[in-house]
Chains A and B, each alone.
Chain A
């Protein structure tokens, strides 16, 4: 059974390409700038009064290396903006056709709904991979520009887990669009990354053991940049497996819902 259509993929990819490039390059260049500023901010860190150390420690402490600096200053920004891009990419894969009223022309084509679903799924995955690759490369070019040594394996691990986190968020956005009624505003998709990010920040800042455990409820945990790049890293595999299973469950549910989706303009 054929569930992928290359023509539909090309159309979808072409239509999303401009957005992909705008997001990838703007965020990638921001990361590049953050990284190349490192030599200039070392002195600023030295001047931070000791009373601020507690707050700094909650976000990874004073960085000693460029990688630690990237983990605390760059990667966190990369993750929240990246998650916003990923969720919009996922949500709009379904929502855009409805918003632009092209559904009546598309879904009367002689293909099963599964073909549309899986082709869109593949397109989202490809876009998120390209987005993450461009950001990772531009950050890496930043490291090379300031001639700092980079722990390649740790950086690679961070990029892989960060991409996995983006994919989870994108699939949740995709599922949300399928599960909601047609013609919803894209802003609704922000209900996914923002609460999840806030949960991860709260669980890091708090001393309350119950709130700390909430870190397992967000995919930002398994891709935590400070954990991976700065401290002795322990892979949060329970959190990772939980979100992989959750994404799979939501994708199955959304496929069932998508097969019966009513398309109207």
Chain B
């Protein structure tokens, strides 16, 4: 049974679209990425899953219970990290953590462990924290009760690269513990590193769900030729840009045909590589624009 099930979920704020239509399922123990540009509806979907806002139509279930009616009990098993983390500014980090620890009725052992891992100075007041430190505090608050599901909105924004790595490792550890992780992001490199599946969202609509294996088996190749090729269309090369004396092309046909074509031409330099997730993502949005 899916741990998160979203069916035709839609949210409008009066005339304004929050989320047009989302339908997908998240399996227990997986890391599911929810990917899209700013304003696509990622945060709206997360708020719907947490019961912070009510859907205009459609249904969302977590662990078999409808969110609309059971969010207060479901939240016991959910850890949530908002995109922008705000806590009580006049309080010290440690007091914020103690408050959440007592509200969740758990002991402080685990959060102290997390404080060490994330190297957060909890003796400072929240108002003295940088954006990154507030994020760390948010991560600890989301995890301190060892929830079954983690819902993370843009989790690594504001963290330095080293801390991003520590955090991503932490996610992998949580996954090993059996935790299901639902994260929204537009940083594709982090998604690529940890996610099992991703849903692409655009203009408030979730249109495709990929496994990472699907993405890695995607045939799209990036080809750079110096000087640029002529008659390239006949084998299916698509010119993406001309830069100085380089021709940049996309190719998703038979690679042997490409090699045969290149072998009869003279080039100073040839480079063929798999497209990155970011490039596939951009390609996807370009295709959508053309439809």
List the interface of chain A (C-beta within 8 A of B). 5, 7-8, 11, 15, 100-105, 107-113, 260, 262-265
Contacts and interface: CB of A to CB of B under 8 A. Distances in A.
A105 B87 CA distance: 7
Interface stretch (B31-39, B48-56, B113-121, B195-203): B48-56
Interface string B203-228: 00000000000000000000000000
B53 A262 contact: yes
Contact of A104 (B54, B78, B80, B88): B80
A29 to B, nearest CB: 24
A110 B99 contact: no
A104 B103 contact: no
B241 interface: no
B88 A7 contact: no
B52 A104 contact: yes
Contact of B53 (A112, A113, A264): A264
Given A108-B52, A110-B72, A265 B84 contact: yes
A79 B166 CA distance: 57
8 cross-chain pairs, A with B, having the tightest CB-CB distances, nearest first: A110-B76, A101-B86, A110-B75, A262-B53, A104-B82, A263-B52, A7-B102, A112-B72
11 contacts: A8-B103, A100-B86, A104-B52, A104-B80, A105-B100, A105-B138, A108-B51, A109-B75, A110-B73, A263-B47, A264-B47
Contact of B88 (A8, A102, A264, A265): A102
Q: Is the interface of A mostly helix, strand, loop or mixed?
A: loop
B157 interface: no
Contacts, number: 65
Contact of A262 (B54, B75, B87): B54
B86 A265 contact: yes
Given A7-B102, A264-B52, A100 B82 contact: no
B141 interface: yes
B52 A100 contact: no
Contact of A102 (B73, B78, B80, B87): B87
Interface in B46-97: 47, 50-54, 72-76, 78, 80, 82, 84-91
A105 B104 CA distance: 13
Given A109-B75, A111-B72, A265-B82, A100 B89 contact: yes
A121 B99 CA distance: 20
Nearest to A100: B86
A109 B103 contact: yes
Contact of B50 (A7, A101, A108, A111): A108
Contacts of B82: 104-105, 265
Contacts of B104: 109-110
B248 to A, nearest CB: 41
Nearest to B76: A110
Given A7-B99, A11-B99, A112-B72, A105 B86 contact: yes
B98 to A, nearest CB: 9
A262 B76 CA distance: 20
Contacts of A7: 99, 102-103
B92 to A, nearest CB: 12
A262 B52 contact: yes
